[in-house]
């Protein structure tokens, strides 16, 4: 029999809270990626010397690492959802969102790296102990500002107070673990597979659920005290270094500009739920942005299938994993995001550059039937391959720098390779859509 506590809707409220933190982890991952893509790579871009360029590369590496850790946090949250009777949740609002959207009181926005964006990241990762004292809410149900750690504390409270047998009704079969994500072939030693920060693991009881929550918080998403390697601590080090460089530049009369002039909150088609997006109007950048959103949308669809684990065999799960986690993220998302950061964004304005919009479309939801889902994946990979090739050809004929043309060419080849990896030895002739067999 269900307890009175669960009968009163506690499970529904817990699932709602987990969906909220899933949105936050997903959103913050993309915001870190955007800031990382904005950072300059070479002194010849202007605004920094060789020594500063090396420092900026270190900052970029840290932001990319933070983004990867947010993805791993998201994986743990999705496992928590599955363990208590929920389903994998990857929806999120489009950028930008006003500070009232979440109880953190912090804007969710895609912005290039700057002192301002750093402060926003720090407010996300603020240790709960550093939050100023606040008056209780005046009205019932009114939220005061909360840290991410306090949001997780609400989740922790439910896990502590509800009977295990009533709360953990989900199957561990619908959960991803470290081996499935990092080492699907089982070829690495244990010391290799534990080098990714917080790894997903199956959750089936109170102990494993609390371990998941505590690991996320302790790594720096609102930790109660400073951790040497927490997100907050790493961001504070970057802030200190940025402040020192800006002060030295002001003292010597030099300029220090570590980031490209990317648009805030770029969009191809501004969504109704976003306030203040900036539309990319330059045709080549717009084509690249549409291509990026198509790849991001496919990634979300595949991750939904991977985490929900509806009917796939182990081999089919591996096929999805081998495409979604690293090839699409590293061979498509990163190079195209960085290409966008150097392309002019606005017609008649050579200064502002574009960036990846990460636009979330309405159709990004779980496709329940396995065969239908896999057919859709193949169709979208074919479309992505054709569009990546077309974009690379357009960039080749434009006045883009050779390095961008080269990266676009490699990206187009990698996307076709990703498609063939997913399809096995059967693949479509991308020119006419007919099936052919290699060899």
Quote the pLDDT of residue 375.
95
Same domain (yes/no): 75, 200: yes
Q: Which residue has the tokens 């929806």?
A: 91
What's the CATH code of the domain at 356?
Answer: 1.20.1260.10
Cα separation, 355 vs 68, whole angstroms = 19
The verdict on whether omega for the bond into residue 96 sits within 30 degrees of 0, i.e. cis, is yes
Question: Dihedral angle at the C-alpha atoms of 320, 326, 331, 337, nearest 10 degrees?
Answer: 110
Same domain (yes/no): 202, 340: no
Same domain (yes/no): 226, 363: no
Same domain (yes/no): 223, 110: yes
Quote the pLDDT of residue 73.
92
Of 260, 281, 296, the position where a domain reaches its end is 260
Quote the pLDDT of residue 225.
52
Question: Which residues lie below 8 Å from residue 432, measured CB to CB, with a gap of 6+?
Answer: none
Q: Which two tokens stand for residue 329?
A: 């993220």
Cα separation, 396 vs 117, whole angstroms = 34
The pLDDT tens digits for 24-45 are: 999 999 999 999 999 999 999 9
Which residues of the chain fall short of a pLDDT of 50?
1, 136-140, 182-197, 425-439
Of 260, 295, 314, the position where a domain reaches its end is 260
Quote the pLDDT of residue 99.
79
Q: Are 261 and 155 in contact (CB under 8 A)?
A: no
Same domain (yes/no): 35, 88: yes
Same domain (yes/no): 321, 233: no
Same domain (yes/no): 358, 373: yes
Quote the pLDDT of residue 4.
57
Same domain (yes/no): 312, 434: yes
Of 211, 232, 260, the position where a domain reaches its end is 260
Quote the pLDDT of residue 317.
84
Same domain (yes/no): 170, 231: yes
Same domain (yes/no): 288, 430: yes
- Domain with 173 in it: 1-260
Q: How many domains does the chain have?
A: 2
Same domain (yes/no): 4, 135: yes
The pLDDT tens digits for 60-116 are: 999 999 999 999 899 999 999 999 999 999 999 999 988 777 777 788 999 999 999
């Amino acid at each position: 029999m269900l307890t009175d506590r669960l009968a009163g809707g506690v499970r529904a409220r817990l699932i709602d809270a987990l969906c909220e933190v899933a949105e936050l982890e997903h959103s913050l991952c993309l915001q870190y990626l955007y800031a990382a893509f904005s950072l300059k790579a070479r002194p010849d871009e202007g605004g920094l010397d060789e020594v500063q360029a090396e420092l900026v590369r270190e900052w970029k590496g840290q932001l990319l690492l933070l983004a990867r850790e947010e993805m791993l946090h998201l994986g743990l949250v999705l496992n928590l959802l599955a363990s208590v009777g929920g389903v994998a949740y990857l929806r999120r609002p489009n950028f930008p969102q006003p500070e009232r959207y979440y109880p953190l009181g912090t804007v969710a926005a895609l912005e290039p790296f700057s002192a301002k964006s750093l402060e926003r990241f720090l407010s996300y990762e603020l240790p709960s102990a550093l939050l100023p004292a606040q008056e209780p809410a005046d009205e019932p149900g009114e939220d005061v500002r909360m840290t991410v750690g306090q949001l997780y504390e609400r989740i922790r409270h439910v896990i502590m107070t509800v009977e295990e047998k009533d709360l953990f009704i989900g199957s561990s079969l619908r959960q991803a673990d470290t081996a499935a994500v990092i080492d699907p072939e089982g070829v690495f030693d244990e010391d290799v597979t534990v080098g990714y920060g917080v790894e997903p693991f199956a959750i089936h009881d109170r102990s494993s659920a609390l371990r998941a929550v505590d690991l996320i918080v302790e790594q720096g998403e609102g930790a109660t005290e400073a951790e040497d390697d927490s997100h907050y601590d790493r961001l504070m080090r970057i802030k200190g270094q940025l402040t020192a460089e800006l002060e030295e530049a002001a003292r010597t009369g030099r300029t220090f500009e570590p980031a490209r002039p990317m648009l805030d909150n770029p969009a191809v088609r501004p969504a109704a739920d976003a306030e203040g997006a900036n539309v990319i109007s330059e045709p080549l950048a717009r084509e690249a942005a549409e291509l990026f959103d198509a790849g991001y949308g496919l990634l979300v669809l595949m991750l939904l299938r991977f985490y929900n684990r509806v009917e796939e065999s182990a081999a089919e799960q591996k096929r999805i994993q081998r495409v979604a986690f690293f090839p699409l993220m590293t061979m498509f998302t990163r190079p195209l995001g960085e290409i966008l950061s150097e392309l002019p964004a606005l017609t008649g304005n050579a200064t502002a550059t574009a960036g990846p919009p990460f636009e979330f479309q309405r159709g990004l939801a779980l496709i329940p039937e396995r065969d239908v889902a896999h057919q859709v994946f193949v169709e979208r990979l074919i479309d992505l391959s054709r569009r990546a090739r077309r974009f690379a050809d357009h960039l080749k004929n434009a006045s883009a720098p050779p390095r961008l043309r080269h990266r676009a060419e490699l990206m187009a080849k990698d996307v076709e390779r990703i498609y063939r990896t997913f399809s096995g030895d059967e693949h479509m002739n991308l020119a006419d859509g007919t099936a052919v067999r290699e060899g």
